[in-house]
C-alpha cells in the first residue's frame, strides 16, 4: 500500500491505494501493474454537509472491501501456484503395469520425488537396478509384510546402483550382485534392508551425507565400506542399528575422547580425536577400521582371522598408532594390512601378518605419506611386504619380511629421503626394489638373505641412494669377501648395480642384541644362560675376547653415528668394579649395575672404528660356582666331573656369538 501525500487545493489532502501493484511485486501473481486510485477525500469538509459525508464514508468502505477481496484472491492464487505437486506412487510386481523396477525408473512419466512400491514376488527380481532419478523405492507394504528380493544376476553388476541424489531404498532382500547397494551421489537414505551374498554389501563411493538405518549386511565378501578422496566423502549418518555379520557398525563423526565398544563389527573414525580402538575381532569389510581426517587415534590389539579388504585404513591421519595386531590369512586374498594415504607422523609397530602367496596382497602400503615410523613388524607369505609411493622421510626399521612374491621393501616411485635400517629380508623375490625417482635414502644394518627370485637381492632404477653410512653397511648372504682386520666389516665392497654398491658390507647378520659364550671345548663349559655375555649396541661388534691373564674383555666396535654399548658380563668370567677405555682413553663416566650373576655396563663413544677394553679386578668371586648361576649346587659337580683331568686351561678366549 502506498500513501500519496500530495497537495489538493488549499488545506486538502488525497491518497491512493496501489493494490494490484502490491500483489504483483510481493506475491508474484502475474497481474499487470495497475494502479487503483480512490477519489480524493477533502479532509476539511464542513459539518453542515452531513449527507455528503455519509455518502463518502460508504464509498470508502466499499473501496476497502474491494481491496481486501483482491488481496485475498492474490494470496490464494500464490498458494495454489507454489504448492508442491503431490508425490505419485507407481507399482511394480508380476501383475502390475511395470514388472521390473528398472522399467518403472526408466519410464518418462516417473519423475523426481515419485514413489515406486515393489510387490513381493515368488521369484526374485533378477536385475541390476540403476537409480538415475530422485525416487523413493520401497516394498509395497513397508514397513510390514515380506520383503521382495532383488538379485544382482550372479555378480555381474550392482543390484542397486544409486547415481542420483536424494534416493531412498527401504525394505528389500538384496543378493548376488557385485555390489548389493553402491552409492555414488549424495543424500541417499538406505533403510531396513538385508544385504547378503554379494561381493560388496553396501559400498559408499565418493558420496556424502547419506543416512543408513537398520540394515543387516551378512555373508558378503566385503560387507561394508566407505571410499573417498575428500573429507566430505566420509561425512555420513550411520548408527549402530546397522550390522555386519550381526555385529553393530560404529561410525564416529566429530567425536573425541571415546573408546569403541568391544562388540564392534565395523569401525570408522571421521574428523575425530583421541579415539581408542582396542581388542576387537574384525572381518569381512572393505575396511576393518577406517580412520579419516583424525588425530591421536590408537588402534591396537586387534585380530583379523578372515580379513577385510584393508584391515586398517588411515586417510589424512596424524599422530596416531597402529600396534600389536595379528592378521592370519588362511586363503588367497587381495587384502592389505595397513594402508596410509596422505598421512604423517604415525607409528606402525609390533604387528604380525601371515598368509599364503597371492598376486595383490600387501602388508603395508604408504601413498603420499611422510614422517611415519614402520617398526618391528613381521610380514610373512603374502605378495608384498612394505610398499611406498610418493612418500618421503619415513623410517622403516627392524622389520622382518619373509617369503613375499614381489619385494620385501618396495619404493615404487618418487620416494625421497627414507631411512631403511635393521630390516631382515629373506626368501623374497627381491629383498628391495627401488624405482622411478626414489632417491636419497639411507640403507644399512639390513640383512639380505637369499632373495633370489629374480636373480638379485636388490633391484635399483634410481640414483643417489646410500647402502652404507660410511662405516657400516648391510649383510649379504652371497658376499664372499674377507675381513683381514677383524672389525666385522668386509674389506671389499658388495656390488649392487653398475652405479651402486655397499662399501661396508657386514661379515655377520645384523642384530642389536647379541649373546656370546665360550667354546664348548673350553673348561667347565655348561650351556646355561649364566654362561653367556650379552651386548646391546647400535654398532658393529667383532673380535670379542676374554683374557684371563689380564682380567679384561676386549672388542672392536664400528659405528657410523654416535655409538653406545650395553654389555652384561658373567661374574664367573670377570668380576668388577671395572675400568673402561676406548682407544686407550679412559671413560670417566659410565653406568653400571650388579646382581648375583652379572655386571652390566653402559657407555657411549663417537662414530668411527674403536678398540674397547673392559678391565676387572678378578676372575669370578664365588668359589665352586662353575656354571656361573650364583649358586654352588649339583650342576657345578656335573661341570667338574665332565672336565676332570683337563689341564689345558686357556688364557685368552675369543667368544663365539650364539643365536
Segment 133-160 mean pLDDT: 91
**365 has a pLDDT exceeding 60:** yes
The per-residue pLDDT for 48 is 41
SS (H, E, C) 543-564: EEEEECCCCEEEEEEEECCCEE
What does the pLDDT average to over 588-606? 93
- Helix or strand holding residue 289 (H, E): strand 287-292
pLDDT 10s digits, 485-522: 999 999 999 999 888 999 999 999 999 999 988 764 44
**Residue 494 vs residue 85, higher pLDDT:** 494
Dist CA 597 CA 629 (whole Å) = 6
Where does the pLDDT of residue 562 fall: very low under 50, low under 70, confident under 90, or very high at 90 and above? very high
Where does 368-506 show beta strands of DSSP type E? 373-375, 378-380, 384-389, 395-397, 400-402, 407-411, 419-421, 424-426, 430-434, 442-444, 447-449, 458-460, 475-476, 494-497, 500-502
**What are the residue boundaries of the structural domains of the chain, listed by start?**
6-82, 329-510, 513-658
* Mean pLDDT, range 358-365, rounded to an integer: 75
Q: How far apart are CA 568 and CA 361, in angstroms?
A: 42
Q: Which residues contact 70 (CB under 8 A, 6 or more apart)?
A: 19, 20, 23
Q: Answer for the pair 616, 576: CB distance below 8 angstroms, yes or no.
A: yes
| Cβ neighbours around 279 below 10 Å, total | 13
Mean pLDDT, residues 179-199: 97
pLDDT at 218 over 70: yes
Return the pLDDT at 326: 87
- Band (42; pLDDT cuts 50, 70, 90): very low
Distance (Å, rounded) from C-alpha 152 to C-alpha 175?
6
Q: Which residues pair with 556 in a beta bridge?
A: 542, 611
Supply φ then ψ for residue 173, to 5 degrees: -95, 125
Between CA 522 and CA 625, with CA 656 as vertex, the angle to 5 degrees is 45
Q: Are 443 and 469 in contact (CB under 8 A)?
A: no
- CA distances to 149, 204, 347, 435 from 307, rounded to whole Å, are 28, 19, 21, 30
> What's the mean pLDDT in 87-94?
94
CB 290 within 8 A of CB 269: yes
pLDDT over 70 (residue 74): no
Q: What is the pLDDT of residues 5-25, one digit of tens each?
A: 333 333 433 333 343 343 334
Asked if 304 contacts 282 with a C-beta cutoff of 8 angstroms, the reply is yes
Instruction: Read off the pLDDT band of 38 (50, 70, 90).
Output: very low
Confidence of residue 276 (pLDDT cuts 50, 70, 90): very high
Give the pLDDT mean for 599-613. 96
* Spatial distance between the Cα atoms of 95 and 436, rounded to a whole number of angstroms: 62
Q: Cell numbers at residue 309, please?
A: 579388504
* pLDDT score at 630: 54
What's the pLDDT score for residue 80?
40
State yes or no: pLDDT of 360 exceeds 70. Answer: no
The size of the chain, in residues, is 659
Q: Rounded to whole angstroms, how far apart are CA atoms 371 and 393?
A: 5
Q: What pLDDT is recorded for position 322?
A: 97
Residue 559 clears pLDDT 50, i.e. is over it: yes
Whether residue 318 contacts residue 297, with contact meaning beta carbons closer than 8 Å, is answered with no
Sign of CA dihedral 374, 375, 377, 381: positive
pLDDT (tens digit per residue) in 303-317: 887 767 889 999 999
- The model's confidence at residue 3, banded by pLDDT at 50, 70 and 90, is very low
Residue 234 cell numbers, joined: 566420509
Is the pTM for the entire model greater than 0.75?
A: yes
Please give the pLDDT value at position 394.
98
Which of the pair, 64 or 483, is modelled with greater confidence?
Answer: 483
- pLDDT confidence of 354, banded at 50, 70, 90? confident
List the single range of 152-156, 200-204, 212-216, 503-507 with lowest mean pLDDT: 152-156
List phi, psi (to 5°) of 580: -125, 135
- Per the DSSP assignment, residues forming a β-bridge with 415 are none
Mean pLDDT, residues 260-289 taken together: 95
pLDDT at 73: 57
pLDDT at 184: 97
- Give the DSSP H/E element, type plus range, for residue 514: strand 513-517
pLDDT in tens, 418-471: 999 999 999 999 999 998 889 999 999 999 999 887 778 999 887 889 999 999
Q: What is the pLDDT of residues 95-109, one digit of tens each?
A: 999 999 999 999 999
Residue 192: pLDDT over 90: yes
CA 503 to the chain's CA centroid? 37
- 373: phi then psi, degrees, rounded to nearest 5: -115, 120
Residue-level pLDDT at 464:
87
Amino acid at each position: 500500500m502506498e500513501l500519496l501525500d500530495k497537495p489538493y487545493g488549499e488545506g486538502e489532502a488525497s491518497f491512493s491505494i496501489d493494490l494490484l501493484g502490491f500483489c504483483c511485486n510481493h506475491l508474484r501473481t502475474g497481474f499487470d501493474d495497475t494502479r487503483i486510485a480512490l477519489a480524493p477525500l477533502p479532509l476539511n469538509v464542513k459539518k453542515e454537509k452531513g449527507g455528503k459525508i455519509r455518502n463518502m464514508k460508504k464509498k470508502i468502505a466499499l473501496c476497502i472491501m474491494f481491496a481486501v477481496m483482491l488481496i485475498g484472491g492474490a494470496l490464494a492464487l500464490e498458494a495454489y501456484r507454489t504448492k508442491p505437486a503431490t508425490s505419485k506412487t507407481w507399482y511394480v510386481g508380476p501383475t502390475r503395469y511395470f514388472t521390473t523396477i528398472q522399467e518403472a525408473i526408466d519410464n518418462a512419466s516417473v519423475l523426481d520425488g515419485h514413489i515406486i512400491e515393489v510387490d513381493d514376488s515368488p521369484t526374485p527380481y533378477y536385475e541390476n537396478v540403476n537409480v538415475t532419478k530422485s525416487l523413493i523405492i520401497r516394498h509395497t507394504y513397508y514397513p510390514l509384510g515380506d520383503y521382495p528380493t532383488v538379485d544382482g544376476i550372479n555378480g555381474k553388476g550392482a543390484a542397486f546402483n544409486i547415481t542420483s541424489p536424494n534416493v531412498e531404498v527401504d525394505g528389500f532382500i538384496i543378493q548376488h550382485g557385485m555390489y548389493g547397494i553402491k552409492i555414488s551421489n549424495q543424500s541417499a537414505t538406505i533403510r531396513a534392508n538385508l544385504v547378503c551374498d554379494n561381493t560388496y554389501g553396501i559400498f559408499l563411493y565418493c558420496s556424502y551425507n547419506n543416512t543408513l538405518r537398520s540394515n543387516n549386511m551378512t555373508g558378503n565378501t566385503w560387507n561394508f565400506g566407505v571410499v573417498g578422496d575428500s573429507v566430505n566423502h566420509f561425512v555420513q549418518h550411520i548408527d549402530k542399528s546397522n550390522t555386519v555379520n550381526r555385529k553393530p557398525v560404529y561410525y564416529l563423526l566429530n567425536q573425541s575422547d571415546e573408546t569403541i565398544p568391544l562388540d564392534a563389527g565395523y569401525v570408522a573414525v571421521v574428523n575425530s580425536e583421541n579415539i581408542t580402538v582396542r581388542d576387537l575381532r574384525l572381518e569381512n569389510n572393505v575396511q576393518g577400521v577406517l580412520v579419516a581426517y583424525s588425530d591421536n587415534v590408537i588402534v591396537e590389539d586387534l585380530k583379523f582371522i578372515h580379513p577385510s579388504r584393508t584391515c586398517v585404513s588411515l586417510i589424512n591421519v596424524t599422530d596416531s598408532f597402529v600396534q600389536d595386531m595379528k592378521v592370519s590369512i588362511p586363503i588367497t586374498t587381495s587384502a592389505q594390512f595397513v594402508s596410509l594415504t596422505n598421512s604423517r607422523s604415525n607409528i606402525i609397530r609390533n604387528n604380525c601378518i601371515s598368509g599364503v602367496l597371492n598376486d595383490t596382497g600387501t602388508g603395508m602400503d604408504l601413498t603420499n605419506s611422510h614422517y611415519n615410523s614402520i617398526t618391528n613388524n613381521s610380514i610373512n607369505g603374502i605378495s608384498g611386504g612394505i610398499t611406498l609411493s610418493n612418500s618421503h622421510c619415513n623410517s622403516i626399521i627392524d622389520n622382518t619380511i619373509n617369503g613375499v612374491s614381489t619385494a620385501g621393501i618396495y619404493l615404487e616411485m618418487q620416494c625421497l629421503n627414507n631411512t631403511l635400517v635393521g630390516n631382515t629380508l629373506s626368501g623374497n623375490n627381491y629383498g628391495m626394489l627401488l624405482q622411478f625417482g626414489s632417491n636419497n635414502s639411507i640403507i644399512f644394518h639390513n640383512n639380505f638373505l637369499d632373495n633370489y627370485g629374480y636373480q638379485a637381492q636388490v633391484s635399483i632404477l634410481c640414483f643417489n641412494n646410500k647402502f652404507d653410512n660410511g662405516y657400516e653397511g648391510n649383510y649379504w648372504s652371497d658376499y664372499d669377501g674377507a675381513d683381514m682386520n677383524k672389525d666385522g666389516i668386509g674389506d671389499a665392497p658388495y656390488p649392487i648395480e653398475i652405479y651402486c654398491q655397499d662399501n661396508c658390507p657386514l661379515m655377520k647378520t645384523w642384530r642389536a642384541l647379541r649373546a656370546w659364550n665360550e667354546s664348548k671345548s673350553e673348561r667347565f663349559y655348561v650351556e646355561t644362560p649364566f654362561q653367556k655375555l650379552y651386548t646391546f649396541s647400535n654398532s658393529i661388534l667383532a673380535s670379542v675376547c676374554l683374557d684371563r691373564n689380564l682380567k679384561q674383555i676386549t672388542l672392536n666396535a664400528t659405528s657410523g653415528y654416535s655409538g653406545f654399548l650395553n654389555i652384561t658380563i658373567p661374574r664367573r668370567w670377570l668380576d668388577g668394579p671395572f675400568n673402561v677405555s676406548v682407544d686407550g682413553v679412559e671413560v670417566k663416566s659410565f653406568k653400571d649395575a650388579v646382581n648375583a650373576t652379572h655386571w652390566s655396563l653402559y657407555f657411549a663413544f663417537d662414530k668411527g672404528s674403536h678398540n674397547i677394553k673392559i678391565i676387572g679386578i678378578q676372575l669370578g668371586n664365588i668359589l665352586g660356582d662353575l656354571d656361573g648361576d650364583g649358586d654352588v649346587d649339583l650342576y657345578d659337580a656335573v661341570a667338574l666331573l665332565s672336565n676332570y683331568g683337563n689341564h689345558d686351561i686357556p688364557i685368552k678366549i675369543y667368544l663365539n656369538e650364539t643365536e
